[in-house]
Amino acid sequence: MTTKPKILVTEALGPAGLAYLQERANVDAHDLLAPELLPDQMGSYDAVIIRSAHRLTRELLVDRPRLRVVARAGAGVDNVDLAAATECGIAVINAPGANAIAAAEHTFGLILAVMRNIPEGNTHVRDGGWNRQAFIGQQLYGKTLGIIGLGRVGREVSRIARGFGMNLYGYDPYISDEIFRTHGVTRAQTLDELLPKSTILTIHTPKTGPHLGQTALEKLPRGAVVINAARGGLIDEAALSDLLHRGHLGGAGLDVFTQEPLARSNRLLENGHVVMTPHLGGSTHEALANVGVMTAKGVIDALEGRTPPNIVNVPIPPLESDRFRALDRLAAQVGHIFARTTEQAGHTLILSIVGKIPDTASLWLRQRVLAAVLNERLDDRVNTVNALLKAEAQGLQLLLDERFDASSPASLALRWEGNPESETEVTLQSDSVHLRAIRGIPLELPWPERALVTRHHDAPGVVGKVGTLLGEFGVNIANLHLGRQAEGEDALMVLALDAEIPSDVIDALMNVENIHQVYVFG
């Protein structure tokens, strides 16, 4: 019986995410674990999930042989040492886009609050006033919204903005023209092109996005409004305060700050044209539930040996979930089958990536295949996260041979350089893995959940002896496939089995005349 993994949840995750974890793992959950208690507990868990109150530093991550996964229940992972996690082979999970709608709606809450003087008007009425003339605002219709970052949140912002009848411009050097066109956003090639056009400017990037200092903010038109519900530190707060006091900027809406909680000495507090909230962008009941479930699913995927699409320290391509998982299985199987059935014949592997596979998937597939190969050969922890580091330490390199073709099925083939007879090939058919070759010997079969593979001399009677022996041990054969290069030479037999194979069967098979090797899968 497989032992369930043990997971520590340091802050409230939400009932749906917690329930998902509890069905699959032993979970110790806290509404808020005191940060000083975390170091003593880190080494006792297979996975640790944090939110914002904890930092996972190098000191907390190294020398934790049990720890395999850490997760940030949110989009940003600034409080996780990614380099240290990668070196240790620890998967880092987050929840990108789970709160995109909430963050986009909060962005417009700030825009409307600033443009329509809503906070001031509320205070005025509560104080007994009714001076409508003092709080005349500006409508959004016809205004130009400049969006820095057209990721998930930026796209939701553009969707809402179109409903207000706004003109949309955007800057994002990492997003394709097709995405801009699809979302009705005119592309600015540079920030210098975007800023002078932006009546309202909003930013939706990680901390690595552009930093808006005095020079950049001065390029906004006079009276412009600046919104930041993304990350603190993306906007120079001193420069923003100065331009607001000078009247160059008309207002600002801020949900995030360089220092949180906000220091009482921050000059932005003195300006009545600034609306501020305490990092509420993703804080809706619906978003918190989505974040919890996405985080929980990613953690369980990683613990069970799959590559989660929301893993941070692996170059994951933008693919639909089902397609991603199918390619993940394909890469894992080609590496697994190759490493188990082929002896090392050099220090350079060639991975052929053929057919209907996006070019953005190459680096991820390379790491996934390497991890599967090295897992068969090393006792150390090896996974997609640290596969490149482990391969380098072994003096092993993997080169790519890419032949993308949307009209043919996705196929991966792995071989030792200069040794075509070592090749293992698999392909996707209806998102299921099909075997095409092992050790350069052609085969054609759907790869089974449990398989027995024999490498034997192509001689009469071998197949019958194997079938008889399995029958004596009560092992039922579901399917049998044969492959050979030429009569009387090396041959392969792949048997799909209905049950696990007792170890005694392997020993007995190795004593069958003409059988050279036996490999068991599943």
CATH topology of domain 1-98+284-313: Rossmann fold (3.40.50)
Catalytic residue among 68, 106, 152, 231: 231
Strand-pair category, 419-429 with 411-416: antiparallel
Q: How does pLDDT run across 462-507, given as a tens digit for each residue? A: 999 999 999 888 889 999 999 998 887 889 999 999 888 888 888 8
Q: What are the tokens at 386?
A: 């640290």
pLDDT at 516: 93
- Specify whether 162 is catalytic: no
- Specify whether 204 is catalytic: no
Q: Is residue 72 a contact partner of residue 93, using CB atoms and an 8 Å limit?
A: yes
Report the pLDDT averaged over residues 234-246.
96
Query: Within a 10 A sphere around the Cβ of 227, how many other Cβ atoms?
Result: 28
Task: Tell me: cis bond preceding 261? Omega within 30 of 0 counts.
Answer: yes
Which residues lie below 8 Å from residue 93, measured CB to CB, with a gap of 6+?
69, 70, 71, 72, 295, 298, 299, 302, 308, 310, 311, 312
Give bridge partners of residue 7 from the DSSP assignment.
27, 47
Residue written as tokens 């596969």? 387
pLDDT bin (cut points 50, 70, 90) of residue 131 is very high
Report the pLDDT averaged over residues 316-328.
88
Percentage of the chain exceeding pLDDT 70: 100
402, 406, 407, 412: CA torsion to nearest 10:
40
Q: How does pLDDT run across 355-401, given as a tens digit for each residue? A: 999 888 999 999 999 999 999 888 888 999 999 999 999 999 999 99
Domain boundaries along the sequence of the chain: 1-98+284-313, 100-276, 319-447, 449-522
- Specify whether 273 is catalytic: no
Report the pLDDT averaged over residues 66-93.
93
Percentage of the chain exceeding pLDDT 90: 81
Q: How does pLDDT run across 277-314, given as a tens digit for each residue? A: 999 998 899 998 999 999 999 999 999 988 999 999 99
pLDDT at 18: 96
Write the CA distances from 449 to 432, 477, 494, 498, integer angstroms.
Answer: 11, 13, 12, 9
| CATH, range 449-522 | 3.30.70.260
Give bridge partners of residue 414 from the DSSP assignment.
351, 424
Q: Is residue 435 a contact partner of residue 447, using CB atoms and an 8 Å limit?
A: yes
pLDDT at 61: 96
Q: What is the mean pLDDT of the chain?
A: 94
Residue 368 burial (C-beta neighbours within 10 Å; 0-12, 13-18, 19+):
buried
Topology alike, domains 100-276 and 319-447:
no
Class of domain 319-447: alpha beta
Catalytic residue among 260, 270, 472, 489: 260
Please tell me the distance from the alpha carbon of residue 76 to that of residue 356, in angstroms, as a whole number: 32
Instruction: Specify the CATH architecture of the domain 100-276.
Output: 3-Layer(aba) Sandwich (3.40)
Q: How does pLDDT run across 407-444, given as a tens digit for each residue? A: 899 999 999 999 999 999 999 998 899 999 999 999 99
pLDDT bin (cut points 50, 70, 90) of residue 2 is low
Q: What are the tokens at 289?
A: 């539930």
Catalytic residue among 162, 279, 450, 484: 279
Q: What is the pTM of this model?
A: 0.74
pLDDT at 499: 84
